[in-house]
Structure 1
Amino acid sequence: MGELVEFIVRSRNFILFLLLEVICFYFIINTNNYWSASFFNTSNAYAAQMLTWSNSVQAYTRLRDVNAELAAENRKLHEELTRLQQGHPVAPTAYQADTVFANRFAYKVAKVTNNTTQYANNYITIDKGTDDGIQPGMGVISPTGVVGRVKLCSANFSVVTSILHSEFRVSSKLIRAADIGTAKWDGVDPHQMKLLDISRYKPVYKGDSVVTSEHNSVFPPGILVGRVRTIGVQPNMTFHDITIDLSTNFSNLSFVYVVNNKLRQEQEQLEKQIENEK
């Protein structure tokens, strides 16, 4: 307290000067219409600018919550879209899936906590594990396409085999050509992969969409894998040499969706019995 009094006494002339300046400024503003209007407009402009900055900071700090809300909403839309596609196929057919089959895919939102793209065999870590119902073998997709397949799980985390892995393959279909092949990464460019086993006698078009086919139990059919970039034919080869641009940008993955095919175990057990009888 003594130091404060000593500071005031020592600086009394400067404090008196500031006080007189404030009083003069007050009288100028309140007795002169021009300066009053100028002060009002200027103060409002600065206040508006400060409010804009404050709102921008608040909006930025809420981006994580907004992204999480959007991911949850996209999960619901994925489930609804898959259910509708399975119950009412696009192709004209008399077949109609029953309710159990049409509703067999469920989705769970997860956040990417680690991701590699620079190796021959790449993996992704997500923040959901067995406590959240995640199990090895489940498919993983992003809002833009196929991501990979769950390999290992702990209580709170899971490791996903990325589509950018030398041993990862996914049954895929060309939309326009209506032919089914296998999408596989060649270990070179993390933005591209190969589409194998497409007959050279089938017409293939640059820019055609490549989606997951009905011939797998991991991903729902119709999930985008990429689009045809180049088409070549090697001499004396039976199949096209097709390169596709991946639809998912793995360098900025944030939220993903883990796909649970509730009928996958039943299907795979039945198919395994057939294999054992061969």
Structure 2
Amino acid sequence: MVQNNQYQGAKFFNSANGLAATINNTSQNFRDFLSLRETNQRLSEENAYLKRKLEQRNQSLYTLNVREINDPVLINRFDFLSARVINNSVHQFKNHLTLNKGKKDGITPGMAVISADGIVGKVKVVSDNFSVVTSLLNIDVLTSVQLKRTSHFGTVQWDGANTENVNLLYVPRHVQPQVGDTVVTSGYNSIYPDGLMVGTIDKVDLKDEALFYDLRVKLSQDFRKLSYVAVVKSNLREEQDELEQLIDEK
């Protein structure tokens, strides 16, 4: 009937073409969806590369302008390795996340983990192919930070409550912090590069006769949405740790 009747034939082929187009479109959308992981991986690797180059540039400017020498060791002080988060907890008092990179990729315990939005945590244990990271959302984790506007130092610590906030400790009463002030890493350890985003102050309180402020920081990284991160390798960490250990022993 389709072959011998012009009207029915036209209707059939129009319907068939429409169905084929819908199937092709659905197939392409599915292929595009499957390619998102590869695309995200490439973007994450590119982001890690750009972070590495930015850190090298900053160290180079410091070396040339302040020390007036070109020190390749300082220029290459930090390196960045992209990794994907394959497991993540946020509702415990001591949260951890798991990465799809391990010893084979050069990751060792103690390395810092960051994202495009801010700091994430520190590598705790590794196997050949995986790493477990102690999250910033861990009541035992203390991280040295700095108020970007005033350059004063403090420490952030999670209290086990809201996953969007941490407390900023040990900021003395003469500092006068403000809501909206940016909080960044201080560089006062050999793990994190200085100046990495932590968050912004969203609550300021100072009790009578208190030595320090009660400050709350809204984290720049939403830990419920972690996907790709960068593991930070400090190439001078071992040297710094050994030197500081000698001081402790004397």
TM-score normalised to structure 1 length: 0.82
> What's the C-alpha RMSD, in Å, of the aligned pairs?
2.1
Secondary structure, aligned partner of 2:3: helix
Query: Higher helix proportion, which one?
Result: 1
The Cα of 1:87 is off from its aligned counterpart by 2.3
- Which residue of 2 is the match for residue 214 of structure 1? 187
Contact 2:2/2:8, CA 8 A, preserved across alignment:
no
**Alpha-carbon deviations, 1:114-152, whole Å to 9, x = none?**
211111111111121112111111111112111111111
Separation of aligned partners in 2, 1:143 and 1:166? 23
Give the drift of 1:195: 0.8
Instruction: After TM superposition, give the deviation of residue 203 of structure 1 in Å.
Output: 2.4
In structure 2, the partner of 1:86 is 59
AA aligned to 1:59 is D
1:183 counterpart letter in structure 2: V
Deviates more, 1:255-264 or 1:48-57: 48-57
Select the structure with the greater relative contact order (CA < 8 A; seq sep ≥ 6). 2
Partner of 1:192: 165
Q: Secondary structure at the match of 1:87?
A: helix
Using the TM superposition, give the Cα deviation of residue 85 of structure 1 relative to its aligned residue in structure 2, in angstroms.
Answer: 2.0
Q: Distance in 2 between matches of 1:122 and 1:226?
A: 19
Q: Give 2:129's aligned amino acid.
A: N
Partner Cα distance (1:214, 1:158) in 2: 24
Deviation at 1:55, TM superposition (A): 2.1
Q: Determine which of 148, 151, 159 is the counterpart of 1:178.
A: 151
Query: Over residues 213-249 of structure 1, what are the superposed CA-to-partner deviations in whole Å (9 max), with x where a residue is unaligned?
Result: 1211101111111111111102211111110011111
C-alpha separation in 2, matches of 1:205 and 1:40: 69
Contact 2:85 2:97 (C-alpha < 8 Å) held by counterparts: yes
Deviations along 1:30-54, one digit per CA (max 9) or x if unpaired, are: 9xxxxx6x88877766555444333
Per-residue CA deviations over 1:68-116 (Å, capped at 9, x if unaligned) read 1111111101101111222225xxx734673211211011111212211
Structure 2 match to 1:14: none
Return the index of the structure with the highest Cα Rg: 1
Please tell me whether residue 24 in structure 1 is matched to residue 4 in structure 2: yes
1:270 equivalent among 232, 243, 246 = 243
- 2:104 pairs, out of 123, 128, 131, with 131
| Contact 2:85/2:229 (8 A) holds in 1 | yes
Please list the CA deviations of residues 163-210 of structure 1 after superposition, one character each: whole Å capped at 9, or x if unmatched.
111111111111112111111111111110011111211121211211
Asked whether 1:204 is paired with 2:177, we answer: yes
Query: Which residue of structure 2 lines up, in the alignment, with residue 122 of structure 1?
Result: 95
* Letter matched to residue 81 of structure 2: K
How many residue pairs get aligned? The number is 247
CA distance in 2, matches of 1:181, 1:113: 32
Between the aligned partners of 2:184 and 2:67, the Cα distance in structure 1 is 21
SS at match of 1:22: coil
Ranges in structure 2 where 5+ consecutive residues have no aligned partner: none
Aligned residue number for residue 64 of structure 1: 37
SS at match of 2:4: helix
In the alignment, structure 1 segments of 5+ residues that lack a partner are 1-20, 31-35
What is the CA–CA distance in structure 1 between the aligned matches of 2:46 and 2:139, rounded to whole Å? 33
Q: Is contact 2:2-2:12 (8 Å) kept?
A: no
Which residue is 2:138 aligned to? Answer: 165
Q: Percent identity?
A: 38
